[in-house]
Amino acid sequence: MAKDDKKSAWKEFFWNPRTREFCGRTASSWGLILLFYLAFYIFLAGLFSLTMYVMLQTLDDHRPTYQDRLSTPGMMIRPKGEQLEIAYTMEFTETWERYVQALNNFLSPYNDTVQAQKNYDCKPDQFFIQEDSGSLKNFPKRSCQFKRSILEDCSGITDRYYGYNDGKPCVIIKLNRVIGLLPAKDGQPPYVTCGAKADDTDKLGELVYFPPNGTFNLMYYPYYGKKAQVNYSQPLVAIKFLNITMNEDVNVECKINANNIPEGTERDKFAGRVSFKLRINSRD
């Protein structure tokens, strides 16, 4: 009998024919509660849509409204190798041809013909400012030519192996893009310097920079963003190692020097600089 009573109680909970209640509520009660939740979720959806609309009105398709960036941009090398280590044996082509191919791929957008076709022949040694005219947006913005031939011996034009076959390799430095950055004041362009770390000073040997003095010309700044400057070509600096010590690890550090860019702090020691290991083996 106890089991029958429980079964009967459950049946009445789901549907009570005397009170016409389903799961303890009448049809009108269920209607009111569903109506409340419908109105509640419509209100939440409307509030979310309104918030998104207001937020989108503050955004610019071509330039971020807010930028949370370091005051000192980062740097990177090409070819970067594994864990920023470039190591090969001169006599074995297969050990360095991947570096040559990586440089070819990286520099192909900088071919002189490509740059002449897509970009503008800017006036050097001054910022290329392209302001908007009131509410009239100046888009797309022009970009300055950076021709591969500027890198001379490290362009891959006169020496298609970039010096890797004779133990005088080229490494290319690029500064990370930062929208609106003007990396100089009083007309003094930023430039790159490289040196050996720690006890490797005597192993580094002579370096030569392309362009001369390792400068980033002012005409490539400011950068306005990927959508605003679709053809922007980052300026590059190439370093050629002329007589580095063979068969030994040489730790190299390159950094950006500018009179308005602070050096890396204890919090971020690698801001504005890049460190890499270079090892050239020779069987001679």
Domain residue ranges in the chain:
75-281
> 252, 277 in Cβ contact below 8 A?
yes
17 vs 56, more confident: 56
If one compares 93 and 201, the residue with the highest pLDDT of the two is: 93
Sheet holding 250-257, edge to edge: 85-89, 273-281, 250-257, 191-196
Confidence of residue 74 (pLDDT cuts 50, 70, 90): confident
Q: What is the pTM of this model?
A: 0.78
Q: Which residue has the higher pLDDT, 160 or 66?
A: 160
Architecture label for domain 75-281? Sandwich (2.60)
**pLDDT score of 215:** 95
In a 3-state reduction of DSSP, which class is residue 280? strand
Strands (E), the chain: 15-16, 21-22, 75-78, 85-89, 170-175, 191-196, 207-210, 236-241, 250-257, 273-281
CB 268 within 8 A of CB 191: no
Distance CA 112, CA 142 (A): 17
Give the pLDDT confidence score for residue 249 in this predicted structure: 94
Give residue-wise pLDDT tens across range 210-263. Answer: 999 999 999 999 999 888 898 999 999 999 999 999 999 999 999 999 988 877
* Phi and psi angles of residue 39, each rounded to the nearest 5 degrees, phi first: -65, -40
Does 131 have pLDDT greater than 50?
yes
